[in-house]
Structure 1
Amino acid sequence: MGNFFCGVDGGGTSCRARIVDEQGQFLGEAKTGSANILLGVELAMENIQSAIAQAAEQAGITDLSTLSVGLALAAAEQRSAWQAFMGLPHPYKHMTLNTDGYGACMGAFSGDNGAIVIAGTGSVGIYLENGQQHVVGGREFPISDQGGGAVMGLRLIQQTLLAHDGLRTSSALSDHVLAHFNHDLDAIVEWSKTAKPRDYGQFSPKVFELAMERDELAMELLQGSAGDVERLILGLNRKGATQIALMGSIGERIVRWLSPAAQSLLVKPQADAMAGAILMARGNHNLYPFSR
């Protein structure tokens, strides 16, 4: 049996795995739950292995030791989480771990020089220049990740509470959030004690939907997120990036809210983060000098 390569793109909401053969021919793909290693390395590994197993079943691969796996995961920049994850047992031939931003940038420019801003549940900007990484943001929710869905959701909850208290005008969006919690403020407070980034991010589709209907709060939130995304784009440009791919569930929908200056720097990505992770699987792209 030959060798196979698997690329995994994992964030705070879900992870996706894709398997190709030595010629790059697509064999299988699957999606499971969160793979942010800062939220728990065991859970992330469980979801990753489940996605890989499902993709391998599609591909007809029964011997997982034939797989070289490239992992582009949220929070991989956290050294302690990286080391804890890479210390877990696995059945694969080889496993390489770097950040989700790195994998997205590798995919967007097929391993060549270029920059990306990824805005999904979280956010990060990364510029790859002759093998050197320049990173802006991406230090995890709630202290960073501005422009991502989790921060947008957090701001929405905050503004909804202000609207409830009469400190700002209510809107269809704040009414939607209150209805989601059955108009129980204690329920919102209790929920917030354990809510994960993906829990806050669940409200972002409604923000986009109601912004199209000119909801005041929704438009305010999108303008704020667009400003955050634009800050990352222009920051990478100051570092030398002239071609920037905007990626992620928020990034793909927020382009129209950006200034002409920011939009002029944007290019379409050549491929996705799973393709970048497959390139990682073919070489040594570990964030830290440890390989398994």
Structure 2
Amino acid sequence: MVYYLGIDAGGSHCRSRLIDARGTILGTGETGPANARIGMDLLYATLWDAAGQAIEAAGLDADQVRTIRAGMGIAGISRPGVRDSLVDLDFPFASVAYETDAVIANIGAHGGADGATLVIGTGSIALVRVDGRDFSIGGYGFPISDEGSGAAVGLSAMRHALRALDGRTRRTPLSIAVAARFGHETARAVAWMDEATPRDYAALAPLVMDYAENDDSIARSIVEDAAQHIEIFIETIYAQGAPRCALAGGLSRRMRPWLRERTTAKLVEPQGDPLDGALLLAGYRAAPTN
């Protein structure tokens, strides 16, 4: 018996799924962030934690673990030197294949066929496959990139809250709610920003979406700006020759109603999720149905 392990390691969380050769899910796991920025030691520990949860749930013994073929999609591994470092990670599996989290999202969305996936989560990146060639658009990292993402939306909310505290712009329910997290004290907000990660900023995005949906003028402007960036992403994807485009990522569902109808008409629903893509990366192929 051969087992397949898929891992989706992103900026907000790391998820795992273990299946057998028939595709039956035997175990799953979930841990915290696992992008390449956290350092190789912590990355390895987080990946192994997620994998171990799935393996424990499946009840595999050591011999069975050695038959596992793993596919892992990890945010940030395209940075110089990261892929070389991954080779040294000591997983007790038959094989391990690595790609970015965006690649496995695209593989899962289109079953490995040509197409594109725009991931809108903590960050944002488009992964495109045309004629079997993979390339990305955007995704250079926060704050220089990640347009339309949760982190970008949260950053805009913080800017608005600070300006409102200064009196440089009018207060709205959104600015009051954000400022309240820091006792309406600018110094506390600045101290938080000194240590804040993209995930911390992205944690503010649901709050912004809530207020935008309740017609807060500033929240609406933030979300509308994010939607414009997403639409530019989608137009660029098709201009680069992709035959289809799907959305993925934790913020995609809430952002979709803010896109113009002519844009949403170009979108397709994903065939599968990033973990499906990770399993395909690992080598899993579903048995043909009769």
Q: TM-score range by the shorter chain?
A: over 0.9
Aligned residue for 2:252, secondary structure, equals coil
Matches within 5 A, 1:123-162: 123-162=124-163
Mapped to 2, the partners of 1:130 and 1:27 lie a distance apart of: 34
Mapped to 1, the partners of 2:61 and 2:188 lie a distance apart of: 47
Q: Which residue identity lines up with residue 122 of structure 2 in the other structure?
A: T
Mapped to 1, the partners of 2:9 and 2:227 lie a distance apart of: 23
**2:121 alignment counterpart:** 120
**2:96 alignment counterpart:** 95
User: What TM-score, normalized by structure 1, do the two folds share?
Assistant: 0.93
Aligned residue for 1:128, secondary structure, equals strand
Residues 107-146 of structure 1: per-residue CA shift (max 9 Å, x gap): 0011111111010001110111232013100111111111
Q: Which residue identity lines up with residue 86 of structure 2 in the other structure?
A: F
In the alignment, is the contact (CA less than 8 A) between 2:165 and 2:186 conserved in 1? no
**1:239 alignment counterpart:** 240
Name which of structure 1's ranges 169-178 and 37-46 shifts more when overlaid on structure 2: 37-46
**2:33 alignment counterpart:** 34
Mapped to 1, the partners of 2:254 and 2:163 lie a distance apart of: 27
Structure 1: where are the runs of 5+ without partners? 284-292
In the alignment, is the contact (CA less than 8 A) between 1:37 and 1:82 conserved in 2? no
Matches within 5 A, 1:142-221: 142-221=143-222
Per-residue deviation, 1:84 = 2.5
Root-mean-square deviation (CA, aligned residues, Å) is 1.3
Mapped to 2, the partners of 1:277 and 1:59 lie a distance apart of: 18
Instruction: List structure 1 segments (4+ residues) > 4 angstroms apart after TM superposition.
Output: none
Aligned residue for 2:118, secondary structure, equals strand
**2:264 alignment counterpart:** 263
Aligned residue for 1:88, secondary structure, equals coil
User: What TM-score, normalized by structure 2, do the two folds share?
Assistant: 0.93
**1:288 alignment counterpart:** none
Residues 159-211 of structure 1: per-residue CA shift (max 9 Å, x gap): 21111111111111111111111222112111112211111111111111111
In the alignment, is the contact (CA less than 8 A) between 2:165 and 2:184 conserved in 1? no
In the alignment, is the contact (CA less than 8 A) between 1:37 and 1:85 conserved in 2? no
Mapped to 1, the partners of 2:243 and 2:161 lie a distance apart of: 39
**1:290 alignment counterpart:** none
User: Cα–Cα, structure 1 residues 236 and 3, in superposed 2: closer, same or farther, change >3 Å?
Assistant: same
| Identity score, percent | 34
Per-residue deviation, 1:93 = 2.1
**1:18 alignment counterpart:** 17
Per-residue deviation, 1:242 = 3.3
Quick check: 1:57 aligned with 2:56? yes
Give the paired residue count: 282
In the alignment, is the contact (CA less than 8 A) between 1:42 and 1:85 conserved in 2? no
